[in-house]
Structure 1
Amino acid sequence: MDIAQAPAEQEVLMLRRRLLQGAIVVMASVSFACSPAPERRAEMTRAAAAEEPIEGDAGAASPSAHRVEIVSGVPNRGRDPAVVAIEIGGEGLCSGTLISPRLVLTARHCVSRTASLIACPPSGVQVFEDRAPDELAILVGEDVVSARRVARGIDVLAPSGLTLCDADIAVIVLDEPVVAAKPLPLRKRGPAAGDHVRAVGFGRPGDGDPSGTKLLREHVRVLSVSTAEFTVGEATCQGDSGGPALDEDTGEILGVVSRGGPKCEGPGVHNVYTRVDTYAWLMEEAFARVAEIEVEEKVDAGASSPTTKPAKRGTKQKPPSDIGGPCETGSDCAAGICITEALASGQGSRQYCSRPCGSGDRCPTRYHCKSVAGLEVGSSACINVR
């Protein structure tokens, strides 16, 4: 966006900057990630694995790893264009995901006025009222300041209860189709404990930092699963609420960030996601609503016999990974591990991003799971086979 254009656009940019600089974190033993809206942090998962031999030059020294215990995520750099930012009436920021050109999946607390402190199980009313749909503006881009506003809400579909526990999910129906990104598909079954997901959202690098940059965290381990939610070893901060957990192999959405605690960084951090498969009925209602709206628009445009077409949906596609990409430290990598591997005959060394591995957690093609120096005993990483 050109900041030298009309005064109205300058005011929008100034508002966004104030939101980023003045964001307030509400901390509790369990806190919801929006109002103004929270973000994610990542804790490295550890998996015990049987050591596999590395094929390659026998003269090369054993590889070592630089690992970070807590990883906030790395800049997304266009890898997940379907993940969008949601401006909430000038009061905060959330994340969402396109599941159709006219549908954005997010958390219910991003589209409602809620209690300031919320615990689960609930002890009272948590949802006071729903926001007007046109208060919800959709932004596409890699950071909030430079992102483009492409649509606004015209309807919101969400569970009808007055609590958010096990029900923190909503779908925003848009006034215009978003064509800047392909929508993502929804997975029909939930995750299992021990699975790994890809976390994306417009979060904050750490406690005290402004939100508004699209961040990526790969290979996040699912710790526990219930009927309507699952928990991963992450923490939320402002901006990440409503962001997706994606299947690493298919790109399908498994859940949306609901809450985290007790803070963004340090021991005990975690994220709680609402499962999308539990709310398959809500997704179908949203797709049907889009089909109805498009028929109404055709009638208004003068079509004599408009036909109903199903709303466009996302298709499966493996998301891109930074495994094998260049790095200097673990904080450069989406899974928090940077491998340093000496080359043969004194030719120096090479560094590349990796991820944890272990029993039942296999490495990609051309990588072997191997114990390396720099990781705690019993932990392994994926090592490139040259």
Structure 2
Amino acid sequence: MSAVIEVSVAHRLGAFSLDAEFASDGRLTALFGRSGSGKTSLVNVISGLIRPQAGCVVIDGRVMVDSAAGVFVPKHKRRIGYVFQEARLFPHLSVRQNLLYGRWFAPQAEDGGSTLDDVLDLLGIGHLLQRQPGALSGGEKQRVAIGRALLAKPRLLLMDEPLASLDEERKAEILPYIERLRDGFGIPIVYVSHSIAEVARLATHLVILGQGKVSMSGPTAELMSRPDVPILSTSAEAGAILEARVLRHEPEHGLTILGTAAGPLQIARRNLPEGTALRVRILASDVMLSLKPLDGISALNVLPGQVSAIGVRHGDGGALEVRLDCNGVGLLARLTVKSAEQLRLAPGSPVYAVIKSVSIDMP
């Protein structure tokens, strides 16, 4: 599959230098890094708000920037939808009028793209059409802002920390709608975030930024299970994400059984239909290792695998991040140095990953 977005730019903004390169064919590409890492600057280059001093930007095969050839497509001709931290709705217009405002920017000669009914169904905002923005919750405002961007028929949707101003309840409300957008609309998304939980749940491709440079870029599940990714491995939220599908429920035990490539997983009961595809996140701190299958333990999930890499977690007493290969699926386990020495772990060592059902999270 060819890259949907290709970026290779160099630009100096005062004392800050942006020198970033990545290519992604993912449905949702997350730009991840600490504050000041260059995420927003890179998004502004992609959108056309910043003209880089050198480099190129290509979106879906269309050249937006090529400094060597003197090409710079202005922002109003790029057909890029932008969703900010704040919804930025017009307070004097109804929800319906705010949504339809996006149509002014849609190319009139093209068929297809999102219709109003499509957007209302996707975002669940049909009942809000007659309301004013002042009568909406933060999550409802952001859904309307996303709908307005979609109705402009964008080639690419840029979302710059769209959940940053929301509380946890509102975030939980809007995340499923972003998933539906990612999976059902065919519009590539670039998503800026400094939240590991959001990245784990949403991103199909991950770009890690630090001090204006791309340190790593690749499929999210692959990068998040590597022990050599400093910004991830030094976090209490370090772990792995697994693609899963609901196999069945055991209501008498309060459990849902998932199928994954690594093996079956039993998690706390979720009200999801059989066959539902989802992601689960397993924190490195919730994985124990054994050299042989265990009997007589309370943990319900035991996955066979082998050690693929061992990395040191700096600044925490020398704790180790151990990467496991469980039938081609990467997991992370966090162990003390003493535990690793007692188990005599080394790359290639066969092990069993032991995970409590209550520890497995749906990000």
Q: Same fold (TM over 0.5)?
A: no
TM-score, L = length of structure 1: 0.27
- Higher RCO, 1 or 2 (CA under 8 Å, sep at least 6)? 1
Higher helix share: 2
